[in-house]
Amino acid sequence: MAKYMLIMRGTDETGAAMMATPFEEMLETMGRINEEMMKAGVLVAGEGLEDPSQGVVVDYDGEVPVVTDGPYGETKELFGGYWMLDVSSKEEAIEWAKRLPAFPGQKCEIRRVPSIDEFPQDNEWIVKERAWREQLGQL
């Protein structure tokens, strides 16, 4: 099994379409796919994000990081939420992504999350992280 993050991205237009959808309808639609993933035993985590106008961006282009409040100008795609799945392959992650509720213009990016076991186990930072994860019951 491997973890894959399914990242929902959309435009200002898809965000507006989503906001025009009745909240109860959105909960029903998202609840159904989340329940399917839970029953299949593949859902690790998932969250939607607040409207971009409530967020900030930290820009590291200069010597000092610059914080800018949303909404963001010139943004073609915004990260709107994610699902973290523990599945047998990238192909299985893709199959789940094809079933996600989405508006025209949205995209789902799929990225594998490397396991801590894939890093050098003699590295002091990996040793510390492994101990922390074990303490939290994540390993």
Average of per-residue pLDDT across 9-37: 89
- Amino acid letter, residue 88: S
State how far the Cα of 122 lies from the Cα of 130, in Å rounded to an integer.
Answer: 11
pLDDT at 16: 82
CATH T-level topology, domain 2-135: Alpha-Beta Plaits (3.30.70)
**Per-residue pLDDT for 72 more than 70?**
no
Q: Is the pLDDT of residue 73 over 70?
A: no
pTM score > 0.75 for this model? yes
Q: Is 102 a residue whose pLDDT tops 90? A: no
Q: Are 85 and 43 in contact (CB under 8 A)?
A: yes
Instruction: Say whether pLDDT at 76 is over 80.
Output: no
Q: Decide if pLDDT at 120 tops 80.
A: yes
